Amino acid sequence: MIKKFYLLAICFLILPLKVHALIEVDITRGNLSPLPLAVSPLSIDDKSKKSFELILKKENIGSEISIIVENNLRSSGLFNPLSKDAFLQAPDIANLKPRFEDWNLIKAQALITGKVTFVDEKLRVEFRLWDILAGKEMMALAFTTVPNNWRRVGHIISDKVYKRLTGEKGYFDTRIIYVAEQGPKTQRIKKLAIMDQDGANNKFLTLGNELVLTPRFNPTSQMVTYLSYFKNLPRVYLLDIETGTQEVVGDFPGMTFAPRFSPDGKKIIMSFAKNGKSDIYTMDLENRIVERITNHPSIDTSPSYSPNGKHIAFNSDRSGYQQIYTMKSNGADVKRISFGNGIYGTPVWSPRGDLIAFTKLHKGKFYIGVMRTDGSGERLLTENFYQEAPSWSPNGRVLIFYRETKTDAKGEGFSAKLWSIDLTGYNERLVVTPTDASDPSWSSLLSN
């Protein structure tokens, strides 16, 4: 259904690079003064320009790629890409040797330049990152790939720049799977949808004939597990994004729901509801062996593995109300970790392993927050009428979640949208989708 982008399709040619002590961006706290930088349009010769125009229907692919980089860096909240109107140097010359004084004059601290060429039916992009104050080249890389991958080239450049300037992996060459919503609140039509992290390349993966909920990627981001009401039997399914093959995996005599992959991708962990109680189970995808992990008369759901696979966080109402618990992956050593005021749910273990993101309901307001894995250090990042279901960016720096609006007295004005927020609690952003949207899940980094 969707073409898998092979890593092989993009070849990295690392050009020589001299390392100096250069600019650094601190991302561990809210960044109130983002680093001013200039993203020069990638230069392109006339012949290449015409070739790409023919294939990609884009007038200047060099500018288009630089716009992707610019938008990505801006959306991170850590960088402030300056207006191109102020640039004094032409893209081709800047890429050879920037006149640092000119860039310094417009207060740019870093500069990204590059060049696009059409070589053997392929797109070749080289880019350079310059430290303006030090007057030095920080990084130079070149990629060759099929022309259709041009957006991904923009994302990969963004990831390289982010990593070079912050010291941490980026999250731009990623995708989001989510539930696209349409229709009145009482009769919502829901479809699985997938898009690039920046909202481009949106595709619907199901037709909307049956209700679908809570899609989640596997570690390689090629499979998705989700809940489908196919034939009015709510069951956990598996979808291969590349082939479009769907199969039921949680076909137990009752409802299976709240699925997620184990960090090695070999198991699905989910809830199974029967006779008014919900417990947590795993299924090994290879041999289909089912294991029961919890056994309690309460509702145990929303399980999420720690990145090393040794622990599971989940929510349970065994104490009377929904609270967050952790346990060993075999179900032993169950510990309640949420003790603040209110109801806690949807724990999701950070890819870095140190934090658990959650939804909290307190005095009629919903919060997205994080706590350490022992429940200490609770921090609420955002408050709203309704929001839930955080999902981590692969570098563990950003959370995506969905938010619903309050309807008016006539029951009108309902909407559901995706939002993202930094771990610092700053940089809250609407993630634009073609339709209403909920239940987002962030993929891993597609290239590395």
Partner 1 sequence: MILSKIFKNTLLILVTCLVLSACATKRNVETGQMQSDVYTGTDSVEYLADGVPDRVFFATNESILTTASRETLRTQAGWLRKNSSINVVLEGHADERGTREYNLALGERRANSAKDYLMTYGISSDRISVLSYGKERPVDAGSNPLAWSKNRRSVTVKAN
Q: What is the contact surface with partner 1 in residues (CB under 8 A)?
A: 184-188, 211, 213-214, 227, 232, 234, 254-255, 257-258, 271, 273, 275-278, 299, 301-302, 315, 317, 321-322, 343, 345-346, 359, 361, 364, 385-386, 388-389, 404, 406-407, 409, 411-412, 414, 438-439
Instruction: Give me the least distance between CB of 411 and partner 1, in Å please.
Output: 3
| Least distance CB 398 / partner 1 (angstroms) | 20
Contact 257, 269 (CB under 8 A): no
Smallest distance, partner 1 to C-beta of residue 124, A? 46
**Cβ distance to partner 1 smaller for residue 16 or 276:** 276
CB 229 within 8 A of CB 191: no
Q: How far is the CB of 176 from partner 1 (least distance, A)?
A: 17
Length of the chain: 448
Angle at 10 between CA 5 and CA 117, to 5 degrees: 120
Strands 277-284 and 290-292: antiparallel
Question: Two tokens at 120?
Answer: 């053997």
Q: Which of 208, 205, 226, 230 lies closest to 217, judged by CA? A: 226
159: CB partners within 8 A, 6+ apart: 169, 170, 171, 172, 173, 445, 447
Phi, psi (deg, nearest 5) at residue 254 = 165, -170
Between 55 and 361, CB nearer to partner 1:
361
Q: How far is CA 285 from each of CA 101, 289, 424, rounded to the nearest angstrom?
A: 59, 8, 37
Nearer to partner 1, 324 or 431 (CB): 324
Query: Rounded to the nearest whole angstrom, what is the least distance from the CB of residue 301 to partner 1 in the complex?
Result: 5
Smallest gap, in angstroms, from Cβ of residue 412 to partner 1? 7
Pick 131 or 436: Cβ nearer partner 1: 436
Q: Which is nearer to partner 1, 81 or 234 (CB)?
A: 234
Specify the DSSP class assigned to residue 89.
Answer: S
> What's the start-to-end Cα distance of the chain, in Å?
24
Residue 440 near residue 178 (C-beta atoms within 8 A): yes
Q: Which is nearer to partner 1, 164 or 360 (CB)?
A: 360
When the beta carbons of 110 and 389 are compared against partner 1, the nearer one is: 389
Minimum CB separation from partner 1 for residue 189, in Å?
A: 11
Opening angle at CA 367, ends 363 and 371, nearest 5: 115
